[in-house]
């Protein structure tokens, strides 16, 4: 069945979901691109369009300014900048999309990191006139650091370089040279576009017959993300213990959580970290019935064949492939707070569903994210800085390298006095 | 290699259940805001799933404007008794009677602003530290940057410039005394997702959502149902139209749409073809371009 035949009623039930992030500055056409994706996929409604038509007219804009669709808060509209991550939604008959729309300037690195943390794919916008610049480097570094496996280099404003194939090829070459220094990105796709004119955004461009690849939207609809989740190392952080105390479920003791990797089945041998006690899975429950297997990112409730002491913050893992357990952690940290990190800070650490205390023992280096050079002579972390630290936690963590598992490889640091989220970290 | 693709509805369901469980675990005394609207009905359904086979471990709180559709109240009372939930009602009428809030005057007076005070009073009275709401980021642009765990200061206010970052699925619900959180498990859902999900899960809905004949008046372009709260003004005529409601709010401001959609499938087709957002017919959002942002800062849902 082709997607065109799907009705709204049946068609949407079996769609999958792609989360992607866009980063860009005021003038590189990011808001116009998103505005166009939303507009051309009919995610914009008439009343929203009327509102921006009115505003464009008041501001004296020549055309309807699609960028206004994505400038949400009043402060941002007044200053003409995007200061936070904004989430947008649209769907085609093939997929539902969640866009984490982030500002691209270096002073908003933390917002880019936030947007990237849940994304499968990143769109990095390159101005065809400027080519690969510091900002391209920064966005690609962040996509790589946050382990986004699919990257689209959207070479925008092709209309301003006379739709030149030669220019497009030059930019590809520039990017490839630079990207060889980044490790994790699995899949890079280059697409020449004009967000303003709509070329290769939804429909194939007639101005660039030399380009044989997909339009941006077609690529977003079809890129294979089925192997993005880790289905090897089974991780189940316990959120909540369910004890109904009812007549029917008198002895029920279920561990509720969301699977953070791997596949769990009834009969599996598991161990509980950090205690190390073992058991077998008796059943995997949902309100709709028992599951024969459960995998990321599903929420479920697990019962075991024997009573062991398990509470929130513990992790149920498969016995044949356990995570590391320890108190000394090496991590890449991105700093979010106005209050800088000087040497040994003490924090509340949140990792999966566990909370403990942590102390920063050592700052190894910071990264200049425009050049990828290490900075070793200035080790104070100010807002938006990224670098490597060593920590010691008060209680042992069951963890994996972030490269292996996003869920068990990430944590945040919270100020114990203000409760502010100070930084976010990826375990090495 | 087996196929471990998870459909978008299963991903959204699983995420919402995760957030509901985090809320129960991180807060002393959460409460679920129940308006009788479809989003809060879906929330209640998800809360049952999150804690099954146990009961929902927190009460439902209904902020009652006193301007209710009868159908909404019947639905609420049936649901609560069926699932054995604990219902708490915060009454705007009572707040007016006790002089804690003053009713707006004039032709287009609404109790929307008064709901804010009644909500904040109810949260304080019950010492609730987290209020679960059905808000979605696709509803209105001020909501596009809302967090799952949204911090409110001791005055119940939202500061859009000072929101906590949310990375991965790690939610920071730590707070100082007197502060509270609003939690939005449906953040990533769209209106279409909610309808698709209700269909898939066979969730019954108040009859107002389905097309029916009703006496209405047209006021400032909004179709309002005639009731004890809405009577025709001079120059307005009562008409009978076939309509349905897309949201379930205060009966004095919630507009209906002309519709023949009297089944779930027909509604889904209608939503798919719709050219106006569901809040497009809420008179409260039309007051100014940033009406929603202003109300949210003060503590609106």
Q: Using the predicted structure, report yes or no on whether residue A409 has a pLDDT greater than 90.
A: yes
Instruction: Test A421 with B137 for CB contact under 8 angstroms.
Output: no
Mutation target vs A (from B3, B9, B13, B144; most A CBs, 10 A cutoff): B144
Per-residue confidence band for A4, with pLDDT thresholds at 50, 70 and 90: very low
The larger pLDDT score, comparing residue B255 to residue A213, is at: A213
pLDDT at A184: 62
CATH number of B8-194+290-298: 3.40.50.620
Instruction: Test A246 with B54 for CB contact under 8 angstroms.
Output: yes
Does any CB of chain B come closer than 8 Å to the CB of residue A16?
yes
pLDDT at B237: 87
Mean pLDDT, 10 residues at a time, chain B of 301 residues: 82 97 97 92 97 96 85 90 92 78 70 80 92 88 82 79 86 91 95 91 91 88 83 86 84 84 89 62 47 55 53
User: What are A324's two structure tokens?
Assistant: 């590391």
Nearest CA in chain B to A421: B164
Where b means 16+ CB within 10 Å and e means fewer, A135-170 reads bbbbbbbbbbbbbbbbbbbbbbbbbebebeeebbeb
Q: Using the predicted structure, report yes or no on whether residue A6 has a pLDDT greater than 50.
A: no
β-sheet bridge partners, residue B241: B214
Q: Which of A73, A239, A256 sits opposite B160 (nearest CB)?
A: A73
DSSP-based three-state secondary structure for B134: coil
pLDDT at A2: 34
Q: Which of B160, B193, B275 sits opposite A45 (nearest CB)?
A: B275
pLDDT at A263: 94
pLDDT at B101: 75
Q: Using the predicted structure, report yes or no on whether residue A146 has a pLDDT greater than 90.
A: yes
Q: Using the predicted structure, report yes or no on whether residue A353 has a pLDDT greater than 70.
A: yes
pLDDT at B292: 52
Q: Distance between CA A70 and CA B225 in Å, rounded?
A: 34
B173: distance to nearest CA of chain A, Å? 8
Of chain A, the end-to-end C-alpha distance in Å amounts to 45
Where b means 16+ CB within 10 Å and e means fewer, A318-347 reads beeebbeeeeebebbbbbbbeeebeeebeb
Does any CB of chain B come closer than 8 Å to the CB of residue A1?
no
pLDDT at A3: 37
A254: distance to nearest CA of chain B, Å? 9
A146: distance to nearest CA of chain B, Å? 10
Contacts of A287 (CB under 8 A, 6+ apart): B48, B49, B52, B53
pLDDT at A38: 83
β-sheet bridge partners, residue A357: A348
Domain at A235-318, CATH class: mainly beta
Nearest CA in chain B to A113: B167
pLDDT digits (tens, 9 = 90+) for A294-341: 999 999 999 999 999 999 999 999 999 999 999 999 999 999 998 998
Q: Which of A8, A301, A348 sits opposite B272 (nearest CB)?
A: A8
Fold of A324-427: Elongation Factor Tu (Ef-tu); domain 3 (2.40.30)
B99: distance to nearest CA of chain A, Å? 34
Nearest CA in chain A to B145: A86
The ipTM (two decimal places) reads 0.90
Closest CA to A236 of A268, A274, A269, A262: A262
pLDDT at B174: 94
pLDDT at A180: 81
DSSP-based three-state secondary structure for A421: strand
Does any CB of chain B come closer than 8 Å to the CB of residue A207?
no
pLDDT at A11: 53
Instruction: Test A13 with B193 for CB contact under 8 angstroms.
Output: no
Q: Which of A12, A95, A118 sits opposite B196 (nearest CB)?
A: A12
pLDDT at A47: 66
Does any CB of chain B come closer than 8 Å to the CB of residue A408?
no
The larger pLDDT score, comparing residue A57 to residue A9, is at: A57
Range list for CATH 3.40.50.620 in chain B? 8-194+290-298
Residue for token pair 């990375």: B167
Chain A residues touching B265 at Cβ < 8 A: 9
What is the DSSP pairing of strand B130-132 with strand B180-183?
Answer: parallel
Q: Distance between CA B92 and CA B63 in Å, rounded?
A: 7
* Mean pLDDT of chain A, nearest integer: 87
pLDDT at A267: 97
pLDDT digits (tens, 9 = 90+) for A255-287: 999 999 999 999 999 999 999 999 999 999 999
Q: Using the predicted structure, report yes or no on whether residue A112 has a pLDDT greater than 70.
A: yes
A177: distance to nearest CA of chain B, Å? 30
pLDDT at B294: 57
B228: distance to nearest CA of chain A, Å? 30
Lowest mean pLDDT segment, chosen from A8-12, A141-145, B59-63, B172-176: A8-12
Range list for CATH 3.40.50.300 in chain A? 3-222
Q: Does domain A3-222 have CATH number 3.40.50.300?
A: yes
Average pLDDT for A225-244: 90
pLDDT at B289: 44
Nearest CA in chain B to A252: B53
């Amino acid at each position: 069945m082709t997607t065109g035949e799907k009705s709204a009623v049946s068609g949407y039930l079996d769609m999958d979901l792609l989360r992607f992030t866009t980063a860009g500055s005021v003038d590189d056409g990011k808001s116009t691109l998103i505005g166009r994706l939303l507009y051309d996929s009919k995610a914009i409604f008439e009343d929203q369009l009327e509102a921006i038509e009115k505003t464009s007219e008041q501001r004296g804009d020549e055309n309807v300014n699609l960028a206004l669709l994505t400038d949400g808060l009043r402060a941002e509209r007044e200053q003409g900048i995007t200061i936070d991550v904004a989430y947008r939604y649209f769907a085609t008959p093939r997929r539902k999309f969640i866009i984490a729309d982030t500002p691209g300037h270096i002073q908003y690195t933390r917002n880019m990191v936030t947007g990237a943390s849940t994304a499968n794919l990143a769109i990095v916008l390159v101005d065809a006139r400027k080519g690969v610049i510091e900002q391209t480097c920064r966005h690609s570094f962040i996509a790589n650091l946050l382990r986004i496996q699919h990257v689209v280099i959207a070479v925008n404003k092709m209309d301003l370089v006379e739709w030149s194939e030669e220019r497009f090829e030059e930019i590809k070459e520039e990017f490839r040279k630079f990207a060889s220094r980044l490790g994790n990105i699995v899949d890079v796709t280059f697409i020449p576009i004009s967000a303003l004119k709509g070329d290769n955004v939804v429909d194939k461009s007639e101005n660039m017959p030399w380009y044989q690849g997909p339009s941006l939207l077609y690529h977003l609809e079809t890129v294979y993300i089925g192997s993005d989740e880790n289905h090897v190392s089974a991780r189940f952080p316990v959120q909540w213990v369910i004890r109904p105390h009812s007549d029917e479920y008198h002895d029920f003791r279920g561990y509720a959580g969301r699977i953070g990797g791997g596949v769990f089945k009834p009969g599996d041998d598991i161990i509980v970290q950090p205690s190390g006690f073992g058991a077998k899975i008796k059943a995997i429950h949902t309100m709709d019935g028992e599951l024969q297997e459960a995998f990321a990112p599903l929420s479920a409730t697990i019962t075991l064949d024997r009573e062991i002491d398990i509470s929130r913050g513990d992790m149920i893992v498969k016995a044949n492939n356990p995570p590391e357990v320890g108190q000394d952690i090496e991590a890449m940290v991105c700093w979010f707070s106005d209050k800088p990190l000087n040497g040994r800070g003490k924090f509340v650490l949140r990792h999966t569903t566990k909370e403990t205390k942590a102390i920063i023992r050592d700052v190894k280096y910071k990264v200049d994210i425009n050049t990828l050079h290490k900075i070793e002579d200035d080790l104070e972390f100010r807002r938006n800085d990224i670098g490597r630290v060593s920590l010691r936690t008060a209680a042992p963590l069951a963890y994996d390298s972030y490269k292996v598992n996003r869920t068990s490889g990430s944590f945040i640091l919270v100020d114990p006095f203000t409760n502010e989220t100070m930084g976010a970290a990826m375990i090495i | 290699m087996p196929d471990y693709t998870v459909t978008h509805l299963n991903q959204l369901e699983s995420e919402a259940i995760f957030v509901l469980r985090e809320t129960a675990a991180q807060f002393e005394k959460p409460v679920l805001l129940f308006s009788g609207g479809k989003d809060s009905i879906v929330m209640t359904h998800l809360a049952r799933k999150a804690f099954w086979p146990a009961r929902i471990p927190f009460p439902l709180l209904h902020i009652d404007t006193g301007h209710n559709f009868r159908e909404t109240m019947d639905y609420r009372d049936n649901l609560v008794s069926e699932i054995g939930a604990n219902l708490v009602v915060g009454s705007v009428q009572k707040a007016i009677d006790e002089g804690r809030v003053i009713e707006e005057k004039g032709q287009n007076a609404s109790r929307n602003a008064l709901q804010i005070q009644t909500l904040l009073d109810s949260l304080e009275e019950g010492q609730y530290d987290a209020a679960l709401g059905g808000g979605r980021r696709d509803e209105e642009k001020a909501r596009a940057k809302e967090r799952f765990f949204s911090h409110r200061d001791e005055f119940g206010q939202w500061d859009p410039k000072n929101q906590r970052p949310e990375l991965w699925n790690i939610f920071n619900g730590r707070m100082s005394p007197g502060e509270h959180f609003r939690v939005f498990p449906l953040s990533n859902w769209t209106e279409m997702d909610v309808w698709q999900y209700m269909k898939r899960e066979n969730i019954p809905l108040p009859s107002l959502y389905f097309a029916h004949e009703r006496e209405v008046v047209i006021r400032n372009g909004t179709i309002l149902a005639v009731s004890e709260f809405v009577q025709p003004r001079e120059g307005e005529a009562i008409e009978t139209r076939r309509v349905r409601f897309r949201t379930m709010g205060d009966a004095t401001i919630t507009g209906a749409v002309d519709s023949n959609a009297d089944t779930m499938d027909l509604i889904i087709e209608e939503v798919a073809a719709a050219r106006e957002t569901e809040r497009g017919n809420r008179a409260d959002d039309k007051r100014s371009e940033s009406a929603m942002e202003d109300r949210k800062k003060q503590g609106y849902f």
